[in-house]
Every structure is written in structure tokens, then in C-alpha cells.
Amino acid sequence: MAADAEGGSLASIRAAAVRLFFEQGYDATALRQIAAEAGLKVGSLYYHIEGKEALLTEIMCAVLDDLLVEARSAVAAEATPTRRLRAAVAAHIRFHAERSPEVFVGNTELRSLSAEGREAVVGRRKAYEEFLAGVIEDAAASEAADPLDLRVHLYSLLAQAAHVAGWYRSEGRSGVEDLGRTYSQLALRGLGLAQVS
């Protein structure tokens, strides 16, 4: 990423924006605060970004892109549909626990975007949901599970991860890997697959 004469970069700007949007909200955050947090002058921000809304859109799109990449990578390493579901859920939970400020911003600030920005973010959300739904459906079909409602199961997993992002702390009693295993097992039990390896 390009750095300007003050040593700032798009990565440092995004990190500063995430911290501020997380702590005080998008509307309450001024560009001058983001610049100061990133060690830049306000004018230097425009070397890297088009404006505050464009920055928010980039942050929200990037976190969804990263989530999909991580989930696909986890799933690709597994040989059976059930193991792929376990891997997908564990990656899903781990991502939300480890990147909770970005996730929080992504879940709360959609209302702050223009129609174009919302469309970009919602499109990525749908792509991720379709990917995860496919993993769930494949696992259920492969083991002749009898789920109550696959779509509700998907929404439950999405909500669980958002909840984890709100309460998980790395210094807590469960490590992120243990948490991923627990939620994976819950997902399997929800499909009636608890005993499947």
C-alpha cells in the first residue's frame, strides 16, 4: 500500500477508522479524528480515500471478503461434507471472535451507507450466506439428516457468530479454537449429526 510523506497508509487509516467507528459510531466520528488516530493531516487522507462513506464501505466490504476467503479455505481442506461443515462453522466463529470490532461495524453501520454502498455490502453478505447455506445443505443431505428448517439453521449460525463478536474476549475461559469446536458441535447437533465424524 502506498505511504505518503507523513508515513500513513491505507491500512493505518482503516485500522484507525475501525477503532473509532467501533468506539463512538460512524456518525460521531469526524475525518479529522481518523487522521489524527492514523498520524496524518486531514488533507493527507484524500491521498488514500475518497471520503468517510467510501472508507466505511471499503471496511465493510473487506471484512466480508476476508470472511468468505477464510471460510472457503477452511472448507477446501476437508474431505467430507460433515467435516466441511465443522470447518466452516469453526472458521466462522473464529473470524467473528478475532475481528469483533470490524464485525460490529459491519453489523451496525449498514444504515449509514448510500444505496450504492449498501448494495455492495449486501451483495457480499448474500454471497457468504449462499456459501454457508450450501455447506449446511451438503452436510445434511450427505448424512440423511432431518433438520427442522435449513434456512433457519443458517440464520441461527449467522446470529451466533454476531453474538460471539459481542462477548468474546481472548483472556476469557475459552480459547478461540475451543469456541469454534463447541459451536461446530452445536451446529451438527442442530442437524441431528452429533455422532457423525
pLDDT in tens, 50-87: 999 999 999 999 999 999 999 999 999 999 999 999 99
Architecture of 1-49 per CATH?
Orthogonal Bundle (1.10)
Q: What stretch(es) of the chain map to CATH 1.10.10.60?
A: 1-49
pLDDT of 146 higher than 80: no
CATH number of this structure's domain 53-190? 1.10.357.10
Q: What is the pLDDT of residues 20-31, one digit of tens each?
A: 999 999 999 999
Please report, rounded to a whole number, the percentage of residues in the chain having pLDDT higher than 70: 93
- For residue 35, the tally of other CB atoms under 10 A from its CB is 20
Please report, rounded to a whole number, the percentage of residues in the chain having pLDDT higher than 90: 67
> How far apart are the two ends of the chain, measured CA to CA in Å?
43
Distances (CA, A) of 182 to 1, 45, 108, 185, 197: 38, 42, 26, 5, 15
